[in-house]
Amino acid sequence: MCGIVGYVGRQAAAPLLLQGLARLEYRGYDSAGVALLDGSGFCVYKEAGRLSVLAARMNGGEGLPQTVGIGHTRWATHGAPTARNAHPHLSDNGHWAVVHNGIIENEAVLRRTLREAGVVLRSDTDSELIAQLLQREDDGDVPSTLRRVTAQLEGSFALGVLYTAQPERVYAVRCQSPLVIGVADEGVFLASDIPAVLPYTQRCVMLQDGDVACLTAEGYTVYGADGEPLQRPLQETAWEAEQAERGAYAHFMLKEIHEQPEAVAATLLPHLQEGRVTPEVLPLTAAQAVALKRVVLVGCGSAYHAGMVGAQVMERLARVPCVAEVASEYRYRQPVTDGDTLVVCISQSGETADTLAALREAKRLGARVMAVANVEGSTLAAESEAVLLTRAGPEIAVATTKAYAAQLAALYLLAVRLGVMRGTVTPAEEQRLTAELRRLPSLIRGLLKTAPQMHALAKRLPPLTDAYFIGRGIDHAAALEASLKLKEISYIHSEAYAAGELKHGTISLMESGTFVAALACDKALLTKTLANVREVRARGAWVLLLTAETVEEAADEVLTIPAAEPLFQASLSIVPLQLLGYYTALERGCDIDHPRNLAKSVTVE
C-alpha cells in the first residue's frame, strides 16, 4: 500500500521519480506527489487521482534540474484522497519534507499535542504529524532527530525524508514497512519495492526494522538504534527489468497469467532431483517431522486460498492434521500451539502486515515457523526459521495470478517432503508425485490456449450482477480463488461455496440466468458435484462446468481440463477461470491492473 521513491545523484531527479512511481502503481493509490530539493529549498507538486495527472503538471519532469527528491503514491487511510492530503508533507518552517507509508496509531494524541503547542496542521493525515515533529526535535543531527521522532510513533511506517540544511542527502527510516535502497551508476535510489529500481540497478539493500539510512550520490550509510553505523550489504537481485515491463500484453495481469508455466517451473524444478524432493524444502529432522502434531498454513487473500489447497494436500500426503488460517484472525483468537506445531506463513511480498503479526505470535507461542515468500530479503523471510522461495519474479498487477500459482507449487513440495519424512509417502509414491509435479508447467501452458474460448464466453454470458463458484474438496478451495479473481477486477458480486452446502441456504438465490461455475476435477467427487449442478440448473442457473472427465449435457458450457494428479488439479482449473475473470473485466471496461480501492501490498492492518 502506497509507494515511496527517492533519488540522489548526478541526473535530474524528477523524471526518475515519476518513472519509479509508475512502477509502483500496482501497490494501489489515489493521489501522488513529488518534492525536489536544492539550495533554494523545496519545489513540491501534488495532485489527486492518477499519476498521469501529476506527470502532466510536471511535464514529465522536463526542465526541472534538481538532482535530489522524494515521491509518493498515497492510498488514503487518514483523510480524503485530495491534493491537500497527498504527500510529501512539509514542516511548518519549510525545512523538512516527508513521505510516509503505514499508519501512525497514536495519531490522535500526537495531533492534540501539536495543536496545543500552536502548530497549524494543513492536512487530515497522520503523516503530516511526522514532519511537524521533525521540526520540533531538530538539533541539526538528522539521524538523531529521526530516532527521537520515531520513538514517539506507534504503528508501522516507512519514511523518506529531505532536510533543507543537507540538500544533497535523502534519509530513510523503516519500521514494519518495506524499504529498499538501490545503488546504480547514476546515483542512489530509495523505493518501497524492488521493481521501482530495476531499470537502473539490480544491486539492492533491504533495510531492516529500526534502520535509519542516509543516501548520497556516492553511496549509503545505515545506522542502528544506538546511532552506530551498521553493515547492510548489497545483494544482487535475480529479477530482471524486463519482468516488470508489460511488453506486448494489454495488461500486466494478462502477461502474468501467461507467465505461470515459467513461475511454476522455476519454483519446482530446483527442488526435484532424481525423482525426489530435495531435503532443503523442509529443514526438519526426521524425528521433528514425525513429532509434528499439527500444521497451520497462514495467509491473506489469495495466499490464504493457496493455504486451503495446501492444507488438504498436506493432510492427505503427510497424515497430520493441517488447517489454513486467515492471518488477520490468527493472533486474535488465542491459538493453541506449541513446539510440535509447524506454522507456515505465505505471502508474495513477504511484508503483509497481518501475516507478519501471525508469524510473530506463532513464534511467541513456541511453534516452529517457516515462510513461503517471493522476495528473498523480505521481513517474513528474515524472521522465519526457514524460507521456501517462490520464483515468480515481480508481480505487478494487483490481482495475483503467477504468485498464487507459485505458492501452490511450493506447498506441493512441502506436502510431498513432509510425507516422505513421516513415512506416509513411499519412495515409489514420491517418484510418481514428482513426475506429476514436473508435468504441471506444460499442462498449465496448454490451458493458456483456452484464452479465446474464455474471451468468447465472457462476451456471451448473461448480464451478471452475481456469480457463484462451487466445488467439493480441493475444488472448493480452488473455487474461492476463482471467485476472488472475478470480483476484484470486474466488480461483480461473487461468492464461492462448498457444493454440499448449497441446500443450506444458498440455493434460494438461484434463479433464471444466475451464473454458476462448478469445479468437478476430482473423479472421486464428480457424481456428487454433478448432482449439485443439476439442482442449480433446475432453478434456471446458467452453469459453466470444469472437469477432467467426459460428461455429456451436464451444463450450459463444459470445459475439459487435462487429467492430472487430483491433488494438484487446483493448479490447472484456476487458469481458465483467471482468463474468464480477466476477459469479463475487459468487456466491462474495468481498470484491470489497478482495481478500485485495492492495493497490491497490504502493509498495514
Provide the pairing of β-strand 386-389 with 368-373.
Answer: parallel
Q: What percent of the chain has pLDDT over 90?
A: 63
**The pLDDT of residue 77 is above 80:** no
Confidence at residue 247, expressed as pLDDT on a 0 to 100 scale = 67
Confidence at residue 335, expressed as pLDDT on a 0 to 100 scale = 87
Digit-coded pLDDT (tens) for 112-123: 999 999 888 999
Does this chain's domain 252-447 share its CATH topology with 449-587? yes
pLDDT band with cut points at 50, 70 and 90 for residue 218: very high
Cα angle value 486/488/493 (rounded, 5°): 65
Digit-coded pLDDT (tens) for 1-18: 578 999 999 999 999 999
pLDDT band with cut points at 50, 70 and 90 for residue 208: confident
Residue 291: closest CA among 409, 423, 402: 423
Confidence at residue 474, expressed as pLDDT on a 0 to 100 scale = 94
- Rounded mean pLDDT, 139-147: 93
**Rounded to whole angstroms, how far apart are CA atoms 478 and 480?**
5
| Residue 510 near residue 541 (C-beta atoms within 8 A) | yes
- Rounded mean pLDDT, 296-313: 96
| Residue 447 near residue 572 (C-beta atoms within 8 A) | yes
- Asked about 600 being catalytic, the answer comes back as yes
**The pLDDT of residue 286 is above 80:** yes
In sequence order, what DSSP letters do the residues of 527-555 get, joined into one string? HHHHHHHHHHHTTT-EEEEEESS--SS-S
**The pLDDT of residue 600 is above 60:** no
- Asked about 521 being catalytic, the answer comes back as no
**Rounded to whole angstroms, how far apart are CA atoms 250 and 245?**
11
Helix, strand or coil for residue 565?
coil
Confidence at residue 187, expressed as pLDDT on a 0 to 100 scale = 94
Digit-coded pLDDT (tens) for 166-205: 999 999 999 878 899 999 998 999 998 888 888 888 899 9
Helices (H), 75-192: 107-116, 127-137, 142-150
**Rounded to whole angstroms, how far apart are CA atoms 594 and 50?**
10
Buried b (16+ CB within 10 A) or exposed e, 530-560: bebbeebbeeebbbbbbbbeeeeebbbebbe
Residue 543: closest CA among 557, 532, 529: 557
Instruction: Return the CATH fold of 449-587.
Output: Rossmann fold (3.40.50)
pTM score over 0.85:
no
Q: What percent of the chain has pLDDT over 70?
A: 96
Phi and psi, residue 544, nearest 5°: -100, 125
- Rounded mean pLDDT, 135-160: 92
Confidence at residue 568, expressed as pLDDT on a 0 to 100 scale = 97
3-state SS record for 439-486: HHHHHHHHHHHHHHHHHHHHHHCCCCCEEEEEECCHHHHHHHHHHHHH
- List strand residue ranges (DSSP E) for 82-228, in order: 89-90, 96-104, 155-163, 170-175, 180-184, 187-191, 203-206, 212-216, 219-223
Digit-coded pLDDT (tens) for 352-410: 889 999 999 999 999 999 999 988 778 888 899 999 999 888 888 889 999 999 999 99
| Residue 159 near residue 147 (C-beta atoms within 8 A) | no
What does the domain layout of the chain look like in residue ranges?
A: 3-244, 252-447, 449-587
Could you tell me which CATH class the domain 252-447 is placed in? alpha beta
263 or 596, which is more confident? Answer: 263
| Residue 344 near residue 505 (C-beta atoms within 8 A) | no
Set 402, 485, 487, 600: catalytic member: 600
420 or 603, which is more confident? Answer: 420
Residue 535 — left, alpha, or beta (φ > 0 → left; ψ -120 to 50 → alpha)? alpha
**The pLDDT of residue 603 is above 70:** no
Distances (CA, A) of 162 to 66, 194, 536, 549: 13, 21, 61, 62
| Residue 408 near residue 380 (C-beta atoms within 8 A) | no
**Mean of all residue pLDDT scores within the chain:** 90
- List strand residue ranges (DSSP E) for 238-349, in order: 272-273, 276-277, 294-299, 322-326, 341-347
**Rounded to whole angstroms, how far apart are CA atoms 42 and 245?**
32
**The pLDDT of residue 555 is above 90:** no
Residue 528, all three cell numbers: 456428487
Digit-coded pLDDT (tens) for 221-243: 999 888 888 888 888 876 665 66
Set 2, 175, 214, 521: catalytic member: 2
- The verdict on whether omega for the bond into residue 88 sits within 30 degrees of 0, i.e. cis, is yes
**The pLDDT of residue 540 is above 90:** no
- Rounded mean pLDDT, 515-544: 88
Helix, strand or coil for residue 346?
strand
**Rounded to whole angstroms, how far apart are CA atoms 305 and 144?**
44
CATH match for 3-244 among 3.30.70.260, 3.10.20.70, 3.60.20.10, 3.30.413.10? 3.60.20.10
- Rounded mean pLDDT, 19-31: 81
Classify residue 336 as exposed, middle or buried by CB count within 10 Å of its CB (0-12, 13-18, 19+).
Answer: exposed
Confidence at residue 395, expressed as pLDDT on a 0 to 100 scale = 85
pLDDT band with cut points at 50, 70 and 90 for residue 446: very high
Confidence at residue 23, expressed as pLDDT on a 0 to 100 scale = 83
